[in-house]
Amino acid sequence: MTSTVPAVTAPAAATREKQSHRRLLMCSAKHFRIDYEINPYMHADVQPDPAAAAAEHDGIVAAHLAAGRTVEFVDADPACPDMTYTANAAAVRGDRAVLATLPPERAAETPHHRAWLEANGFDVADTPYAFSGQGDALACGDLLLAAHGQRTDIRAHRTLARHLGYEVVALRTTSTRWYDLDLALAVIHPGRTLAYNPEALDRASLRTVRGLGLDLIPVRPAEAAHFALNLISDGRTVTMTTGAPHLAADLRSLGLTVVELDTTELRKGGGGIRCTALTLDNPA
Ligand code: ARG
């Protein structure tokens, strides 16, 4: 597949953009385990190595700090083995948040997320419907690219629109392999550039994404299957997994600094770099 990489945009335009993805909430991988199997990548007989997982997580935190981002932490709970995937906590915009409604196996995380968000000044709303937080809700300027049909019930979208003031763009992935949208699609420059795996979105969603008027970087399915799209981009630095050289090269050709990190341990839980951070600085 040849990728159509959009032309490099003038840096002046980039600096006028409101900054985002530079204030992150994370949670240590101290209690990361596979206690249950709620996505096709989790196998209770393939456990993460605790020291390797801790080192991998430390490396991700260090990369964010080196990129000039701020990292805050919610305390890990030994009863919450998936809590290191903080992106699933909520969707956040300005000083407002919509708390996730996680699968029952992860429900014990939510009181911690609520407490952290409230203690840090966020006006927190709930939805009674399934909602996977930023796993299924990617901010792109005034748009919220929000999935439904896997971990998110479309009825949760109304709360996202109302409480956060986004125009919600509803998308559907094609399989449980893309149980969260952040495995299928990534925002590279909010309101300007997306990267996506065309095979992971259904036909109507492909039409929708292609009709947004944004620059699109197609990603090879094999790289997407390695969680290449599960990245954090602040529009200057992209922090992503190793094992996706074509996407890394496409991003570098746009003038971005690309930092590639090994995510072997996080992949055992069905996640990667994007999953480990809740972005707190989505402009209102
Ligand atoms: N084991 C976790 C789960 O299945 C992984 C979550 C990954 N998070 C994400 N944003 N894709 O819920």
Distance of CA 194 to the CA centre of its chain: 13
Please give the number of the atom of ligand 1 that sits closest to the Cα of 102: 12
Pairing of strands 167-171, 143-147: parallel
CA–CA dist 168, 137 (Å, integer) = 9
Q: Distances from the Cα of 272 to the Cαs of 19, 57, 135, 224, 266, in angstroms? A: 23, 10, 11, 11, 6
Whether 32 and 269 have beta carbons less than 8 Å apart is answered as yes
Mean pLDDT of 264-277: 98
pLDDT, averaged across the chain: 94
pLDDT reading at 239 higher than 50: yes
Instruction: Band the pLDDT of 17: cuts 50, 70, 90.
Output: low
Domain ranges of the chain: 12-279
pLDDT at 12 over 80: no
Q: Give the position, in ligand 1's atom list, of the atom nearest the Cα of 136.
A: 10
The structure's pTM equals 0.93
Ligand 1 atom nearest to CA at 151: 12
Nearest residue by C-alpha to atom 9 in ligand 1: 275
- The DSSP letter of residue 101 is B
Q: What is the whole-number distance in angstroms between the Cα of residue 72 and the centre of ligand 1?
A: 19
- The pLDDT assigned to 16 comes to 46
Among residues 35, 115, 108, which one has the least CA distance to residue 77?
108
Q: Which residues line ligand 1 (CB under 6 A)?
A: 38-39, 42, 82, 85, 87-88, 106, 135, 180, 182-183, 269-271, 275
| Look-up of token digits 């991003």 | 251
DSSP helix/strand/coil, 203:
helix
Residue nearest to atom 1 of ligand 1 (CA): 269
Mutate to test the pocket of ligand 1, among 32, 39, 86 (most ligand atoms within 8 A of CB): 39
Predicted confidence (pLDDT) at residue 5 exceeds the cutoff of 60: no
User: Which residues are 176's β-sheet partners?
Assistant: none
Q: What fold, for 12-279?
A: L-arginine/glycine Amidinotransferase; Chain A (3.75.10)
Banded pLDDT at 11 (limits 50, 70, 90): very low
Ligand 1 pocket test, candidate residues 41, 85, 134, most atoms within 8 A of CB: 85
Backbone angles phi, psi at 276, to 5 degrees: -90, 5
Alpha-carbon separation of residue 134 from 153, 186, 204, 248 (angstroms): 14, 11, 22, 23
1 vs 47, higher pLDDT: 47
Pick from 88, 173, 241 the residue to mutate for probing ligand 1's pocket: most ligand atoms within 8 Å of its CB.
88
Going across the sheet that includes 143-147, the strands are 137-140, 143-147, 167-171
Distance 269 CA to ligand 1 centre (A): 7
Q: Which residue reads 């605790």 in tokens?
A: 50
CA 270 to centroid of ligand 1, rounded, Å: 6
pLDDT digits (tens, 9 = 90+) for 76-134: 999 999 999 999 999 999 999 999 999 999 999 999 999 999 999 999 999 999 999 99
Structure tokens at 129: 């419907």
- Determine the pLDDT at residue 19: 80
30-34, 111-115, 117-121, 190-194: segment of lowest average pLDDT: 190-194
> Over the stretch 131-173, which tens digit does the pLDDT of each residue have?
999 999 999 999 999 999 999 999 999 999 999 999 999 999 9
